[in-house]
Amino acid sequence: MTRRLEDLLGIDHPVVLAPFGGVSSVALTAAVSDAGGLGSYGLYGYAPDRIRDTIAALRAATARPVAVNLWLPRGDEVAPDDVDLTAAVAAVSGFFDELGIEIPEKPSSFLPPFEDQLDAVVDARPDVLSVVFGVPSPAHVERLRAAGIRIFGTATTVEEARALADGGVDAVVATGAEAGGHRVSWLRPPEESLVGGLALIPQVVDTVDVPVVAAGGIVDRRGVAAARALGADGVQVGTAFLRTSVSAAPASHRAAIASGADTVLTRAMSGRLARGIPNRAVREIEHAGAIAPFPAQNWLTGRFRAEAAVQDRGDLLSLWAGQSAGLTRHDDVAELFAELVAGWS
């Protein structure tokens, strides 16, 4: 077993781009891979054909290793027939009116079947599949290994890291509570799994026998150096890359990150706990107190968020960001990558 990500993946620097559900871009993923890191792309909610097309686009954009990310299904997810969206729709109907779009009809399903998504990933053969919200089944691990695909699992606690290592992943992404986006806890409720990176990373390193990638609050050379000092074998960076000009985040989202605004944990936008910069949408949905369970809430808000992105309405977007947003400085991805590599050196 090697603990060097560089040897495991054939990359030059142990810097991983975090996968962004909804705001990943082929250009950013390829830029990080071309610079010698591991570019990642989030496939949340993608249908199989779109997964195959996206991985093909990544392969066309870079000859270097790339990763994609899927959300593992959990038992708490609701189907359309299981949930009454009347109150949740009423809480956000004004946003649809402002944006000039109709409130959609409830779909036949909120998400594509996971098995179909996995089939598409195996067919397209990225270098790495990272997963959140659980451990891949032994059958899934076997399929991915047979296809030559490395597997990264994401942990927010030591117990989750141990379960992932026992489940056969090639590396564990230890995600501290500082990280932006969804809290991907799965053994205990996320509110009971808010371990900061300073405590989480060394405990995970001491617990598992696979490479550990530190994530959460890392935006510059100081964070990278700290992660290395804590024993990490690499770093995963999200918010700082999301600010760069080649991310798919709308300008208002990038500006919110650059402003250094404080972040909060909220279920308002998806029904699952996530960290982001509070805006009007978050405040009004929370005030209404009508938040549908996941993935119903995520589907509902996603209908107006897509149009808000087109109109660059930051007050109606999911402004996911980590606690170190105020330390981000770079709009150019190459400059940011060099800054991060300097911390590892």
Domains of the chain: which residue ranges? 5-344
* Closest C-alpha among 339, 317, 338, 319 to residue 327: 339
pLDDT at 3: 73
Taking each helix axis from N to C end, the angle separating 280-288 and 86-99, rounded to the nearest 10 degrees, works out to 150
pLDDT at 269: 98
pLDDT per residue over 200-237, tens digit each?
999 999 999 999 999 999 999 999 999 999 999 999 99
Instruction: Count other C-beta atoms under 10 Å from residue 64's C-beta.
Output: 20
Q: Report the C-alpha gap between 325 and 142 in whole angstroms.
A: 38
Q: Which two tokens stand for residue 337?
A: 């990558």
- Identify whether the C-beta of residue 311 lies closer than 8 Å to the C-beta of residue 96: no
pLDDT at 1: 54
pLDDT at 75: 86
pLDDT at 2: 58
Low-confidence ranges of the chain (pLDDT < 50): none
Look at the domain 5-344 and name its fold.
TIM Barrel (3.20.20)
